[in-house]
């Protein structure tokens, strides 16, 4: 017989988990509600991915699998205004594992465009975590030097490969792989491109306390032979993944997707086809980029 306090706790935990379906795809994922902490630079509550973003979901975006569903309806899809990644010249999963594994080798720009695509598909405001939010998660996770290998795939137990999402013990927030497996993109206070959490190559002694690792394109994309080099993928950054945050509104409910956002972030040396979506398709849909 389950005692009343345990039942109440289970109901409270269930109420703090949001199940998100992605229209036009077969995919869904869970988000965990995190309470605000103004003293730690997080002024309002937010939701965060229970796991890192999987290849399954990223594939729906990069292979345009959602457009098959769109073709069955005359309704315009605002997600068409978001650029899609170019085809990589190597297998970016490194043959570690794909379905059910964390997406890796993803550039910061790629991660932001994916979040914008997801926002437009779900009509909710998804984005990358801020540094303050990620640090708050770490401080509430109850992961420490003594128990980190129970929760994280690191150098000592990962065999230098990623592992399926959700195999390790969840932390105190109910999150998986906050530390280890794939490192996670985070936005710094001045817009810096940072990663946190370590990865399958990180030693346990270096994983906690967590330290920011700034974007290092000189090394993370050094072997890309393309000219110009890819603005989507990391040829030598097979350890970089992402976890998303869902904004809340003033009532603490999931915030609506902003009308305008980061559709693409062109660089001076990128080709036009990488910089923005197909203008003919936008015209057909009655949209503009």
Note the pLDDT tens digit of each residue in 190-245.
Answer: 999 999 999 999 999 999 999 999 999 999 999 999 888 999 999 999 999 999 99
The answer to whether 64 and 79 have CB atoms below 8 angstroms apart is no
Q: 193-196 and 213-214 as β-strands: parallel, antiparallel, unpaired?
A: antiparallel
For the chain, strand residue ranges (E) read 17-21, 28-34, 46-49, 126-127, 183-187, 193-196, 213-214, 240-241, 245-246
Residues 6+ apart with CB under 8 A from 158: 180, 181, 200, 201
- Residue-level length of the chain: 289
Rounded to the nearest 5°, which phi and psi values hold at 280?
-65, -40
- State phi, psi for 32 to the nearest 5 degrees: -110, 135
Note the pLDDT of residue 138. Answer: 98
pLDDT tens for 135-191 read 999 999 999 999 999 999 999 999 999 999 999 999 999 999 999 999 999 999 999
Looking at domain 15-74+83-258, which of 3.90.1580.10, 3.40.50.970, 3.30.56.10, 3.40.630.30 is its CATH number?
A: 3.90.1580.10
What residues pair up with 186 in beta bridges, in sequence order? Answer: 194
What the block records as the tokens of 13 is: 């935990």
- Beta-carbon-side half-sphere exposure of residue 46 (alpha carbons within 13 Å): 24
């Amino acid at each position: 017989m389950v005692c009343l306090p345990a039942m109440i706790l289970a109901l409270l935990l269930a109420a703090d988990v949001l199940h998100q379906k992605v229209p036009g795809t077969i995919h869904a994922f869970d988000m965990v509600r995190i309470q605000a902490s103004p003293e730690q630079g997080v002024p309002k509550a937010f939701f965060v991915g229970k796991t890192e973003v999987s290849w399954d979901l990223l594939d729906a975006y990069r292979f345009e699998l959602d457009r098959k569903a769109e073709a069955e309806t005359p309704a315009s899809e605002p997600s068409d205004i978001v650029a899609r990644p170019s085809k990589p010249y190597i297998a970016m999963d490194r043959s570690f594992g794909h379905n059910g594994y964390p997406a890796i080798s993803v550039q910061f720009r790629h991660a932001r465009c994916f979040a914008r695509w997801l926002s437009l598909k779900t009509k909710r405001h998804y984005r990358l975590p801020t540094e303050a939010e990620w640090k708050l998660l770490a401080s509430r996770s109850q992961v420490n030097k003594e128990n980190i290998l129970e929760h994280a795939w690191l150098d000592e137990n990962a065999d230098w490969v990623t592992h399926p999402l959700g195999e390790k013990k969840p932390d105190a927030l109910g999150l998986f792989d906050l530390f280890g497996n794939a490192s996670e993109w985070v936005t710094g206070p001045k817009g810096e491109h940072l990663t946190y959490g370590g990865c399958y190559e990180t030693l346990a002694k270096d994983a906690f306390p967590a330290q920011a690792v700034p974007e290092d394109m000189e090394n993370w994309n050094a072997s890309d032979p393309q000219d110009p080099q890819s603005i989507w993928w990391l040829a030598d950054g097979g350890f970089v993944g992402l976890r998303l945050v869902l904004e809340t509104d003033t009532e603490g409910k999931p915030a609506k997707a902003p009308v305008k956002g980061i559709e693409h972030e062109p660089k001076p040396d990128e080709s036009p086809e990488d910089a923005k979506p197909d203008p003919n398709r936008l015209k057909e849909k009655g949209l503009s980029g």
